[in-house]
Amino acid sequence: MGAQTDTRTRIQEVAIRLFTEQGYEATSLREIAEALGVTKAALYYHFKTKDDIVASLMDDRMEALDALIDWAKVQPRTEEARREIIRRYSADMTRGRHHEVMRFMERNQTAMRGHTKAEAMRDRITALLDVLCEPGDPLTIRLKRSMALFTLHAVWFVVPDEDVTDEERAEAALNVAMELIDASCG
């Protein structure tokens, strides 16, 4: 990893933390630079605006979603394929900053409303739901499969218990998501 990539990653890490803790609107580029111990000019070298930082985080997330959707589209529409989609999505949520991006989006819904990258992310989730559900599935089946996917998001902000590790949180969410996927098949 080069120094520029490392700096870009550090900026993303600090920015997402501050955006989530303080709110996107309440966080300035100056605060991000100060938290990093760099000048604003050094920060501008990598990102000109807060929106550029958010866009980079969402682009990374969408790249992972696109890979999963592309894979899922060529799989047979079977119970095991749906279970594997959920397993892969869960693994993606715990890699990198993907679950942090979900937390950020949940805590900054007003600021992100209408944001083109946020809309594109929603489109990806809809595409993923399309491969989990069949045309003509009953509403109960579609709802259970949607909730299986949502469970993998919700665990990061619905259960704010700080005594739970990220690993325990991800495992619990995966277990519940699998129960919902399995329940939809009977």
Tokens for 39?
A: 């000048």
Q: What is the pLDDT of residue 98?
A: 77
Higher pLDDT, 73 or 99: 73
Q: What is the mean pLDDT of residues 39-67?
A: 91
- CA–CA dist 144, 182 (Å, integer): 9
pTM of the full predicted structure?
0.82
Residue 95, pLDDT > 70, answer yes
Q: Is the pLDDT of residue 185 over 80?
A: no
Residues 61-70 have pLDDT tens digits of 899 899 999 9
To the nearest whole number, what is the mean pLDDT of the chain?
Answer: 88
Q: How many angstroms separate the Cα of 130 from the Cα of each of 54, 134, 153, 158?
A: 26, 7, 17, 25
DSSP string computed for 65-128: HHHHHHHHHTS-SSHHHHHHHHHHHHHHHHSTTHHHHHHHHHHTHHHHTT-HHHHHHHHHHHHH
Q: What's the pLDDT band for 5 if we cut at 50, 70, 90? A: low
Q: Please indicate whether residue 96 or residue 163 has the higher confidence score (pLDDT).
A: 163
Cα–Cα distance for residue pair 56/114, rounded to 1 Å:
17
Q: Where are the domains of the chain?
A: 51-183
Between 99 and 91, name the one with better pLDDT: 91
Largest CA distance in the chain: 59
